Amino acid sequence: MKTTAYFREQVLRKRPYLRMEWIEETLKSPIFKSIQSDGRVRFWSRPAELGGRALRVVTLADGETVHNAFPDRDFDVP
C-alpha cells in the first residue's frame, strides 16, 4: 500500500492503534466515498474493533496513496 511521508511520520505516531488491515479493507470496500474540493478522496468503513465508530481514510487524488486515517465520530451515512 502506498502512503505519504505525513501518514508514516505523523498519523501512525499519533494513532498507533490504527491497523493497516482496517485501512486496506476501507479502501477495498468502503461504506461511503466522497471527493474533497482539493481532489483528495475520502473513504469510510466501520471496523468492528472501533466499537461502532467509523474510520475515515483520506487518500491523495489517485485514490490509492493513503494520507490520513482516523476515527470519525461525526460520520453518518447520507
Please give the mean pLDDT across all residues of the chain: 95
- C-alpha span between 6 and 10 (Å, rounded): 5
Assess whether pLDDT exceeds 70 at residue 52.
yes
As a whole number of angstroms, the distance between CA 50 and CA 6 comes to: 23
- Alpha-carbon gap, residue 2 to 72, rounded angstroms: 22
> Considering the domain boundaries, does residue 39 fall inside one?
yes
Number of domains in the chain: 1
Q: Is residue 45 in some structural domain? A: yes
The pLDDT value recorded for residue 25 is 97
pLDDT in tens, 4-25: 999 999 999 999 999 999 999 9
> pTM for the whole thing?
0.94
Asked if residue 68 is part of any domain, the answer here is: yes
Q: What are phi and psi of 65, to 5 degrees?
A: -85, 110
Mention every residue, 6+ apart, whose C-beta is less than 8 A from residue 75.
Answer: 32, 44, 54, 56
Asked if the structure places residue 29 within a domain, the reply is yes
Whether the per-residue pLDDT at 78 is higher than 70: the answer is no
Residue 78 domain-assigned (yes or no): no
